[in-house]
Structure 1
Amino acid sequence: MLGKPSYGIVMVNRRRLGRKTGLVNYLAQEWMAILTLAVLLFKSIVLMGFVYSPDKSVIDITRGFNNIRYMSVCVAFLIIIVSFNYLAKGKGRLWLLLILNFLCSFLYVFDAVYLRANGNFLSTQLLRQTGNVNNLWGSIFAMFRPCDIVFFIDIPILVAILIITRKMYYSSPLFTSMKTRLIAFGSLFAMSVAFIIGSYIVIDVYGNNKYAYIFHTYWKPEATICNASPLGYHLYDCYVFFADFRPYEISEKERTEIQKWIDDKKENLPDNSYKGMYQGKNLLVLQVESLENFVIGQSVNGQEITPILNKLLKNSIYFDNYYTQVNEGTSSDAELMTNTSVFPVRKGSTFFRFPYTEYNSLPKIMGKYGYSTKAIHPDDGAYWNWKEALTNMGFQQCIDSKSFKMDEIIFLGLSDGSYFRQIKDTIIQQKQPFYNFMITLTSHSPFEMPKEHQYLNLDSYLENTRLGGYFQSINYTDRYIGTFLDELDKAGILDNTVVAIYGDHDSVHKYFDDQIREIKPSQSWWLENDKKIPLILYEKGQTPQVIHTTGGQIDLMSTLLYSFGIEKSEYESTSFGRNLLNTQQDYVLLADGEFRGNIDKAKQKELLDGLEYADMAIKTNFFKK
């Protein structure tokens, strides 16, 4: 007959079981940390795959891996995040790792979305612009793609594992006390930070490659994130954001360099027949939401997409190689460049960050020559902070949504049809000569027009696509531009008015290029746009012309002032753009530092400095008298 096990045997077995359980618990929790680190590294590679893939909706692991320039630095940043799990105890460490994983995944997926929308990544500067989000959720959700699920696919699996094993593990005996956990956290954190600082000193401070930095803001956002890694980019961005609150100062050397860059751009050509061709006339500038160049003159199913704009071309100067140059401020950047001929700042929205910077602006110059000036928006003055910025820019009056009866709302705000109908009498009764700057709203992404305003009969393969919705949206706005101009013509206003029409930025190709390429059958004319927007200078009875010179929004102010007979001395020394009606240069510098047109490599390097100089000029109020 077997007796009961002795007390000593029981205690030995318990100690063995305790050691075994402790080891299991230790391995479980540390493997969760290692797994989280591996998963976040994989997600970093996926995000970089989006960045460097020609199609921002295709995961390219190879490109992603090859374009994290300093993989060890990337891992060090991720270890910093993972190290925070030691601040929790027992099972709480596992849940904290899950939460950290989720937060990083959330950041990465919105990086991917913002990248598709704006060619950039989320920035702390966007915190200053949160008021814009309220009516943009439709556009934001339209940027998600099915492949984005990869950033979250592991989360429910890990949640399920933690729930199933909730009674299996307790805590590792190595990290039960606060002291040991703080030592573990501090050690990992300090070693990672020390490695990053060491890498910074070796590469940034003492390195001899001017294109190899860990912490540096490049004009191409992908170059910045390539060096710092996705998480490093955001931590560096936070540093830049808070450093931004310090007063900006500019040395005399920098001031001289900025002015020299502007002055060296002058071509000093003799005047031609375009000089003063519109002198004394009214100027009406119409910035059309999301108007891309590829739709001009095109038809679907036998119907013109922009019949009114096509008709205007018969009496217009049409620039068919005109490009959008907006940065993170999107439409507000277009307003800035059109009215100041200064590039927007490199980070965030100029209108939010520096609304009180002074410029030698289009409204100021026109006002100096006796023009009454108005900026007219159908949206709230706080949207992109446009009213504050344009008022400071020199417009004598700014009219926003408070002056309109909001009787028909389509997506972002007041419909273009109602907007034009309500504002026409204000323009007809306005003191002349006038300069009015107007924008439209309805043709904004995600291009979901109400059925009653869909005037095109589209083929089934275009119905319910973003491209088909874009055609309907632009066709709607085009129709009401025509109605508006007809009313002005009946009142005699167009007899003495020049109407400048351009798009604020590319849109359907910018946001939904991957979906456009999936439409079958396709037509070649809608597959490419390459950031082109139309620029149309319409005058009643004018002989039509097409100008193929390559230019962009930064050039419009100088072009208009020249055609209105304003002496070059009034604007050439403050303009970052050039006059497209009298130039021998054929190029445009885009917001990401790329060029279009014909410009040699040596000249490109010199022109790229203009982006940095404009940034400095805005931050330091360079043009303040």
Structure 2
Amino acid sequence: MSDNKNRFKNIFNTTWGFFFLVIVLFCIKTYIVYQTKFTLGVKGSLQEFLLAVNPIPAALLTFGIALYFSGRLKYWLILIIDFIETTWIFANIVYYREFSDFLSMGIIKGSGNVQNNLGKSLMEIIHPTDFLVFIDIVILIALLVTKVIRVDTRPFKKYKALIITLGSLLLMWGEYGLASTDRSGLLTRSFDNNYIVKYLGLNEYAAFNAYQTQKESATRSHAKASDMDSVLKYLKHSRAKADPAYFGKLKNKNIIIIHLESFQQFLINYKVNGKEVTPNLNKFYKNNHTLSFDNFYHQVAQGKTSDAEMMLENSLYGLPQGSAMVTYGSQNTYQAAPALFDQMGYSTAAFHGDVPSFWNRDSTYKSWGYQYFFSSQYYKEKANYSVGYGLKDKIFFRDSANYLQRLPQPFYTKLITLTNHYPYILDKENVSFPATKTGDKTVDPYVQTAHYLDQAFGEFLSYLKKTGLYKDSAIVLYGDHYGISNNHRPAIAQLLHKKSVNSYDLAQFQKVPFMIHSPNLKGGIRHTYGGEIDVLPTLLHLVGDKNNNTIQFGTDLLSKKHDQTVAFRDGDFVTPKYTKVGSSVYLTKTGKEITPNKKQTEEIDSVQNHVTTELSLSDRVIYGDLLRFYTPSGFKKVDKKDFTYQYTKAMKNLADAQKNKPTSIMAENNDKSTLKDYKTDAPELK
């Protein structure tokens, strides 16, 4: 028995033994992370097998690098590689918990533009158990330091290291071949990172993503004017003519867009303990002069809010990885809403109670043609004025009115709210609504911050009515993306009063509000299917612009020719007839999962081809910066040098604009402030 024990122990005192011990421990913990930290949608024995073995090839390849070195160095290199690999796993655990996706090169490259506020919610996202991924490294170091495992300093044959390397590559090839039998076109057609990780692994995903990022950079440098031909040909056949009953109904009206942070459609008319979560928004939603859409979906990916803004103001999709605003906001040419409205005689401004660099807004907004960007540097800041990602909504709306009243009319504006942002923090003196009781600490306070947002909106609406802006404006509200990610299934089921939720339920859960209100509009709740990509063409038709020449992938929601296919960034889609999630297909009206017959398969394949084509063409426009080659008739390209958001200079420009065009609310009020008409119960301001 003692001899067997010594022989077993001596195995780990060799380079081979220690190397394979590290590999086994690493692969076991990776598999545990797959099963406990990610929601990969594994189905069937083949997928289960691939999930279990996919860490092995990459681990052999990366850890095998250390085997080319001699003595103690190879041991420390194995541990260093283990630490780097584990840190990558840890980072993805944290990121996935919030974004239901994996880190990409686009996100990492743009981290400097978004990291300012990451620390504010990081401690809310990290769980103590996340650090357990490092436990094997701690144990291995302890075993080496105490000499329970001794370092084998004997030379390790280089040909053996080469065998490990070649063997790992062979295993990767076999793994990919096996995966392709279950998921054809895994690396050529998939828009979903979950599939790549599920079939191939985190390391392979990272390598593929790095390749894609490099490919994208090369695409721009090789793009040429003729690349626009396929885009123009596609759009020529996909445009939808305006409904004559609505075309020009908002001509010369101010456009006030209110960006409802993380606000989902289910909140409308939702009650907790018999109380409405959003009474002001509910009333607005049902108003006879509000066009409300109850089948409107967010279509964001990793860029989340920035993706929503990209679609809202450009009718271009966000990217499959990273944020287009961060990576391409500064360098690309756009035909964005601010520029279009500016060239129609509107003043244009964005309002946001956070630092201007967040999501690269201070640079991107110049590319889009915003004349003014009122960011955190324009607002009075006190310690209790902010929560989470910036100014509390009641204070933000009140202080934004100071600049709104100075804008020459008509104006195009966007106000980005923040309080209803993960992790849904609100100080006690502002909490006036009961939390839900799902038992999920992330989900339960969501209705409290949503209620606060609703109160802030009600106060802002009252101000618009008192100053006369209400009758001269169109008020547009939209939810930018989900507030509760699909990782909270048990809580979602409770919120929806269901025993459980499936993929169909989660797809429908991606609905967000979209409303357009003006006193002269014939309103009503529309059941038309659409998404954020459709907002810009809808607004342009309402203000009387035919937008026949601009590059927009959405269509007017009010048009009889509107395309009711809602494309999601991962290639899934919803139509009035079908909801496709991964390989599953449901009937949209009933939620029943089907095995498509021949006719249904043809219909679904046709829609899928349409979705894939549209996403690919939009990506081509952004990756290649193709709009630099195409200027629509009557449109003037934006020159970023025309804009400054530096406080002193911007305020001087605003003062000059008021003199040259005295049509602002202040000008109409004999240059007196209207802020006395703004009433808020924000306790911080008392």
The TM-score with structure 2 as length reference comes to 0.77
Q: 1:294 to 1:23 in 2, by over 3 A?
A: closer
Residue 446 (str. 1) matches residue 427 (str. 2): no
Q: Does the 8 Å contact 1:589/1:595 carry over to 2?
A: yes
Q: Distance in 2 between matches of 1:264 and 1:68?
A: 43
* CA spacing shift, 1:147–1:115, aligned 2, 3 Å: same
Looking at structure 2, the residues matched to 100 and 60 of structure 1 have their Cα atoms a distance apart, in angstroms, of: 32
1:154-303 alignment, distance < 5 Å: 154-166=136-148, 169-175=150-156, 180=157, 182-193=158-169, 212=184, 216=188, 218-246=190-218, 247-250=220-223, 254-268=227-241, 271-303=243-275
Does the Cα contact within 8 Å between 2:121 and 2:388 map onto a contact in 1?
no
In the TM superposition, residue 488 of structure 1 has moved relative to its aligned partner by: 1.8
On the 8 A contact 1:45/1:65 being kept in 2, the answer is no
1:25 touches 1:172 (CA, 8 Å); kept in 2? Answer: no
SS in 2 for 1:136: helix
Task: Compute the displacement of 1:515 (Å).
Answer: 4.7
Q: Give the counterpart of 1:614 among 605, 615, 618.
A: 618
- Cα offset, 1:257, TM superposition: 1.8
Q: Is residue 430 from structure 1 mapped to residue 407 from structure 2 by the alignment?
A: yes
Any idea what the Cα deviations from partners look like across 1:462-495, whole Å, max 9, x if unmatched?
A: 6883223111111111111111121121111111
* More displaced stretch, 245-254 vs 361-370: 245-254
Which residues in structure 2 correspond to 1:10-49 (within 5 Å)? Answer: 24=10, 27-49=13-35
1:596 aligns with 2:593: no
Which residue identity is paired with 2:619? D
Residue in structure 2 matching 1:367, options 342, 346, 363: 342
**Partner SS state of residue 445, structure 2:** helix
Going from structure 1 to structure 2, the CA distance change for 1:41 and 1:253 (only over 3 Å counts) comes to: farther
Whole-Å separation in 1 of the counterparts to 2:199 and 2:251: 52
1:457 paired with 2:438, answer: no
1:380 maps to: 355
Larger Rg: 1
Q: Deviations over 1:80-129 (max 9, x none)?
A: 11213325555554454344333323322332333343332111222222
Counterparts of 2:473 and 2:138, CA distance in 1: 62
Match of 2:483 among 495, 507, 513: 507
Asked whether 1:399 is paired with 2:382, we answer no
Could you tell me how far apart the structure 2 residues matched to 1:443 and 1:183 are?
A: 59
Structure 2 CA distance, aligned partners of 1:447 and 1:568? 39
Q: Deviations along 1:511-545, whole A, 9 cap, x unmatched?
A: 6445555x6x9834997652111001122475540
Whole-angstrom CA distance in 1 between matches of 2:11 and 2:50: 37
Distance 1:250 1:553 in 2: 27
Q: Report the CA distance between 1:592 and its aligned residue.
A: 1.3
Shift of 1:21: 9.6
**1:540-561 residue CA offsets vs partner (Å, 9 max, x unmatched):** 4755400111111000001111
Confirm whether residue 65 of structure 1 aligns to residue 34 of structure 2. Answer: no
**Aligned pair partner of 1:121 in 102, 105, 125:** 102
Aligned match of 1:342 in 316, 322, 329?
316
CA separation of 1:127 and 1:463: change in aligned 2, threshold 3 A? closer
Once the two structures are superposed, what CA deviation does each residue of 1:44-71 show, in whole Å capped at 9, x if it has no partner? 444554698478xxx99968634549x5
CA contact (8 A) 1:466 1:515 kept: no
CA distance, structure 1, for counterparts of residue 439 and residue 199 of structure 2: 43
Q: Deviations over 1:218-272 (max 9, x none)?
A: 212223334543211112222333444434323666432222222221245x733
Of 447, 463, 485 in structure 2, the residue corresponding to residue 471 of structure 1 is: 447
Provide the residue aligned with 1:586 in structure 2.
564
Aligned: 1:133 with 2:112: no
- Which digits, 9 at most, give the CA deviation of each residue in 1:106-156, with x for residues without a partner? 322332333343332111222222232232235444445677566345344
Q: CA deviation at 1:210?
A: 12
One-letter amino acid of the structure 1 residue matched with residue 315 of structure 2: S
Contact 2:263/2:483 (8 A) holds in 1: yes
Contact 2:11–2:17 (CA<8 Å) still a contact in 1? no
- Identify which range, 88-97 or 503-512, moves more after superposition: 88-97
Give the 3-state SS of the residue equivalent to 1:317 in structure 2. strand
The answer to whether the 8 Å contact 1:424/1:488 transfers is: no
| C-alpha contact 1:364 1:393 (8 A) present in aligned 2 | yes
Distance 1:458 1:327 in 2: 28
Give the C-alpha shift of residue 184 in structure 1. 4.2
- Note closer, same or farther for the CA distance 1:67–1:289 as it changes in structure 2 (3 Å cut): farther
- Rounded Cα–Cα distance in structure 1 between residues aligned with 2:333 and 2:609: 28
* 1-structure distance, mates of 2:76, 2:43: 30
Whole-Å separation in 2 of the counterparts to 1:499 and 1:409? 25
**C-alpha distance 62-396 of structure 1, shift in aligned 2 (>3 A):** same
Alignment of 1:87-126 (within 5 A): 87=68, 89-90=70-71, 93-126=74-107
SS in 2 for 1:523: coil
- Contact kept, 8 Å, 1:357 with 1:621, in 2: the verdict is yes
Contact 1:138 1:446 in 2 (8 A): no
User: Of 410, 417, 428, which aligns to 2:387?
Assistant: 410
Give the aligned residue type for 1:248.
S
The verdict on how the C-alpha distance between 1:514 and 1:141 changes in structure 2, with shifts beyond 3 A counting, is farther
Q: 1:17-67: per-residue Cα shift (whole Å, max 9, x none)? A: 9xx999926754322211222233334444554698478xxx999686345
Cα pair distance change 1:516/1:607, threshold 3 Å: closer
How far apart, in 2, do the equivalents of 1:134 and 1:362 lie? Answer: 27
Alpha-carbon offset, residue 212 of structure 1: 3.8
Per-residue deviation, 1:338 = 0.5
Distance 1:254 1:278, change over 3 A: same
1:548 aligns to what? 527
When the two chains are superposed, the root-mean-square deviation of aligned CA atoms in Å is 3.5
Cα distance in structure 2, aligned partners of 1:390 and 1:210: 43
Aligned residues: 586
C-alpha distance in 2, partners of 1:198/1:21? 34
Q: Which amino acid aligns with 2:518?
A: E
TM-score normalised by L of structure 1: 0.84
**C-alpha deviation, 1:455, in angstroms:** 0.9
Counterparts of 1:158 and 1:23, CA distance in 2: 14
Corresponding residue for 2:461?
485
Match of 1:5 in 2: none
Aligned residue number for residue 11 of structure 1: none
Q: Which amino acid aligns with 1:414?
A: L
Deviation at 1:499, TM superposition (A): 0.6
1:428–1:488 CA contact under 8 A, matched in 2: no
State the percentage of identical aligned residues: 24
Return the alpha-carbon distance in structure 1 between the equivalents of residues 182 and 24 of structure 2. 31
Determine if contact 2:116/2:358 at 8 Å carries over to the other structure. no
Partner of 1:9: none
Render the CA deviation track for 1:410-434: whole Å, top value 9, x for unaligned.
Answer: 1111221211111113212321111
> What letter is aligned with 2:303?
G
Provide the secondary structure at the position in 2 that maps to 1:115.
helix
Measure, in 1, the Cα distance between the counterparts of 2:13 and 2:272.
63
